[in-house]
Structure 1
Amino acid sequence: MKELFRRIQPHSGKILAIFLILFFSFLAYNLYNAPVDGLEEKFVYLLRKYGYIILFAWGMLEGEAGLIMAGLLAHTGDMNLYIAIFVAGLGGFAGDQVYFYIGRFNKDYVYKKFRGQRRKFAFAHLLLKKHGWPIIFMQRYMYGMRTIIPISIGLTRYDARMFAFINLISAWCWAALTIVPVWYFGNEIIIVLEWTKKHWYFAIPLIVILGGSIIFYINKATKKVEKGVINEN
């Protein structure tokens, strides 16, 4: 078993790509053949029938949108709250483990493929050197660095078992912190979504402004942290 695992690890990136292609092909096929009318109804049907499978894959991509949908489905009773958190966390864990082993066993590929990301890799190394294991716990909340940090840690001699342990705890916390509030405030969120659906022409500029503000704040905060870490080193 260990020998098989060791042989698979260097090809983790290709395995992830194949998995995602098969997954989205599966979704497209079932979405097309869903026994309901309308794209929205087909998508809801798909979520209710294959919710946990979709949630696991969405967790691998670390997309909060999938976790928000899980929170709403848990609120309506179409998903179990605890199972949703467990599955989403496992997905997030699996995704970062793949990125970690891409860095660990495909260094030449990483240096070639991410040549334009050298600054981010250097920043990730500085963060790991300065903060140690907490940066593994926090990287899911650092937009723009989510893929870079686990790959960057894989490039170092950081213990794989320690990374896996912290990564798993971090993934379950991330899933719970996203799903539970949506589940708790489900009624209010559903009301807002219904309003948005009926008044989409008002919602679009609000979404653009809100999304732009969040991106601006995250970029500014990331640059501030980056500058502080570099100055201290």
Structure 2
Amino acid sequence: MTEAIHHFIEQYGLLAIFLGCVAEGESAAILGGFFSHQQVFVLWHAFVAAGLGAFVGDTFFFILGRSFADHRYVVRLRKRPGFRRAFRLLNTHPNIFVLSNRYIYGMRLVGGIAAGLSNIPAPLFVILNAISSAIWAVLFGTIGYVFGLGAEHFIGPALMRHERLLVGLGIGLTVAILAWFVARHIANREHARES
């Protein structure tokens, strides 16, 4: 079983990191760094997959906001908690908002839509989004790499590579669950503030 998981991760792991980072993908970027430490991927490949995924995701939501403002999906996203705050911040500090939006958990999706609905020029958004995506990918990929170092030190080098992969999946699942609880707490607080 662990051999099959290992083979699957080697074959499709970078694609999974890319797809995971298209949406709210901190856990995918962290797993990319962790598996790079386990020598499943080359570290810079994980950085590129995470950075491209983050860039494509935010650009996609920007295009949705810019070109499909009246579509029911965009209208529904505009009603999400935090959208008004994101739009207000974007109009007062557009450069800082685009550079920092992805670091505020739960704001990335509505932030991309808000950027598309704002009057920020598309070329400026693309440049700032590319810079932010690259820094974000290196930061969270490095966190995963450091988790790998810590796990190896804590668990010991006696474990075979396959068991380390299962530990990595456990870390990724834990990070995803914690992120979900944090996002839910923030959304509830924003919803209470806007009510």
Asked whether 1:112 is paired with 2:75, we answer yes
1:164 corresponds to which letter in structure 2? V
Note the C-alpha offset of 1:218. 6.9
Query: 1:111 Cα shift?
Result: 5.3
Where do residues 88-167 of structure 1 align in structure 2 (5 Å cutoff)?
88-109=50-71, 110=73, 112-114=75-77, 116-117=79-80, 120-167=82-129
Q: Is residue 94–residue 120 contact of structure 2 (8 Å, CA) maintained in 1?
A: no
Q: Percent identity?
A: 29
**1:86 and 1:101, CA in 2 relative to 1: closer, same or farther beyond 3 A?**
same
| Contact preservation (8 Å) 1:125, 1:152 | yes
Runs of 4+ in 1 over 3 A off after TM superposition: 40-43
Which one-letter code corresponds to 2:79 in the other structure?
G
Whether 1:181 and 2:143 are equivalent positions in the alignment is yes
Greater mean deviation of Cα atoms: 100-109 or 120-129: 120-129
Q: Which residue of 2 aligns with 1:6?
A: none
Q: Which runs of 5+ in 1 are unaligned?
A: 1-37
Cα offset, 1:215, TM superposition:
1.9
Letter in 1 for 2:68: N
Shift of residue 107 of structure 1?
0.8
What RMSD in Å do the two structures reach over aligned CA positions? 3.4
2:182 to 201, 215, 221: 215
The structural deviation recorded for 1:121 is 2.5
Give the 3-state SS of the residue equivalent to 2:108 in structure 1: coil
TM-score, scaled to structure 2:
0.75
- Would you say how many aligned residue pairs link Structure 1 and Structure 2? 177
TM-score by length of 1: 0.64
Cα distance in 2 for partners of 1:150, 1:64 equals 16
Q: Do 2:25 and 2:54's aligned partners in 1 also have CA atoms closer than 8 Å?
A: no
- Which structure has the bigger radius of gyration? 1
